[in-house]
Amino acid sequence: MKPFEQIVAEHGPTVLRVCRAILGPVDADDAWSETFLAALRAYPDLDPDANIEAWLVTIAHRKAIDAKRAEARRPIAVERLPEQPAEVQSVDSGLWDALKALPHKQLLAVAYHYVAGLAYKEVAAITGGSTDAARRAAADGIAALRRTYVHFEGETR
Amino acid sequence: MMTTSEPDDLFAALTEIDNETTARLHARLIADAEVEGLLDVAYRTIDSPVGPLLLAATTAGLVRVAYQREGHEQVLEHLAATVSPRVLRAPQRLDPVAREFDEYFAGRRRSFDVALDLQLSKGFRLDVLRHLPDIGYGRTETYAQVAAAAGSPRAVRAVGSACATNPLPVVVPCHRVILSSGSLGQYVGGPEAKQVLLTMEAAA
């Protein structure tokens, strides 16, 4: 088994991207931290042949569900206002809005397939439903993003 | 073929993760792991006159000191396999040890005063390691003398292999064991490192 430090180095950035895609930039840090702490706890019992990326995304998926439930329980009065960390403001906020507007199933399929790079079969194992349904949800999600989110490609390349 | 933007481009805004963010999340993981009792093996590296040294500690104490020639990555993989895979770069736990190394290499410290975790050594090799700190700073013993002191006068070769596999070189001073001919013999850190340590100790 690899030292856990290596797991953090190899998969930390991808898991953070997935957390950002699902939860937005502000809550992503908490979800990442909870995901890797839970992963560290369970790591010695992990099947050595397991797909580590899929395992981590599965944990992140549960942590994101927990975060959303906690969010729902929060009184509306303290709904988060734009007190975001400075580094987040530099990130294109249009993408967050576009992701947030996706139906939840599509958002998850897009995050797990396109951001985490998991196969549709692995995506389906995490979100429930069939492999075909995961493939369709990802395709629909990407198509919707292309319609709603205009990326300034001309300026950057 | 011209296509609309690839998903990779679509998520360009997600891919930017700066070093500050990575460092912050790593520090938080280490702190949380320590609180939860999940930091089984903490490690860091230090610079020294005998090259970069890897230091690793369990909650019981210092468990491994490794020279660069041993391959730090392999050593960490071995720790993951034998002690626990919960191995994390967490310099703080090793701050007191690192300070003692600095003092030792500056000639201001003659023995190490940190808790040791000797779980990587068993049997006769462990007996040998327990005797080595009795060889005082700046002094040497022969392999035969160490064999006798460890209770098996004829086990001279076994003393050699105990020194060669010492998981805590420098701290457990196997560099002070030399051949009866007076030449220095082999060393886990290489003969040059043994020469450097003994010369330094003789001069201090």
What CATH number has the domain bearing residue B36? 3.30.160
ipTM: 0.91
Alpha carbons A33 and A10: distance in angstroms, whole number: 15
Residues of B with catalytic roles? 174
Pick the last residue of a domain from B75, B105, B135: B105
Q: What are the structure tokens assigned to B171, written together?
A: 């701290």
Domain A4-156 has CATH 1.20.140: yes
Burial of A39 (0-12, 13-18, 19+ CB in 10 A): buried
Residue B10 is assigned to a structural domain of this protein: no
**How much is the pLDDT for A115?**
93
Q: Which residue has the higher pLDDT, B150 or A84?
A: B150
Residue B114 is assigned to a structural domain of this protein: no
**How much is the pLDDT for A34?**
97
Same domain assignment for residues B100 and B43: yes
Residue B25 is assigned to a structural domain of this protein: yes
CB contact under 8 A, A13 and B22: yes
Partners of B84 on chain A (C-beta within 8 Å) are 44
Same domain assignment for residues B27 and B81: yes
Query: Closest partner residue to B14 among A17, A37, A153, by Cβ?
Result: A17
Same domain assignment for residues B99 and B134: no
Residue B31 is assigned to a structural domain of this protein: yes
A75 pLDDT band (50/70/90 cuts)?
low
> Chain B contact for A120, CB < 8 A?
no
Query: Closest partner residue to A29 among B7, B25, B36, by Cβ?
Result: B25
Helices and strands in chain A, H and E counts: 9, 0
Residue B11 is assigned to a structural domain of this protein: no
What CATH number has the domain bearing residue B159? 1.10.10.10
The domain of B162 spans 123-203
Work out how many domains chain B is built from and give that number: 2
CB contact under 8 A, B86 and A43: yes
Listed by start position, the domains of chain A span 4-156
Do β-strands B41-46 and B87-89 pair in parallel, antiparallel, or remain unpaired?
parallel
Partners of A142 on chain B (C-beta within 8 Å) are 7, 10
Angle at B88 between CA B86 and CA B92, to 5 degrees: 130
Residue B4 is assigned to a structural domain of this protein: no
Same domain assignment for residues B21 and B99: yes
Q: State the average pLDDT over residues B60-69.
A: 98
Of A39-43, A58-62, A81-85, B184-188, give the lowest mean pLDDT range: A81-85
Same domain assignment for residues B77 and B130: no
pLDDT, tens digit, for every residue of B73-128?
999 999 999 999 999 999 999 999 999 999 999 999 999 999 999 999 999 999 99
Distance from CA of B14 to the nearest CA of A (A): 6
Q: Is the pLDDT of residue B190 over 50?
A: yes
**How much is the pLDDT for A77?**
52
Residue B116 is assigned to a structural domain of this protein: no
Distance from CA of A57 to the nearest CA of B (A): 16
**How much is the pLDDT for A87?**
47
Query: Closest partner residue to B5 among A41, A87, A151, by Cβ?
Result: A151
Residue B166 is assigned to a structural domain of this protein: yes
Partners of A114 on chain B (C-beta within 8 Å) are 7, 10-11
Alpha carbons B151 and B140: distance in angstroms, whole number: 18
Q: Is the pLDDT of residue A79 over 80?
A: no
pTM: 0.88
pLDDT, tens digit, for every residue of A12-33?
999 999 999 999 888 999 999 9
Partners of A87 on chain B (C-beta within 8 Å) are 18, 20-21
Cα B125 from chain centre: 17
The length of chain A, given as a count of residues: 157
Ranges assigned E (strand) in chain A: none
Same domain assignment for residues B174 and B132: yes
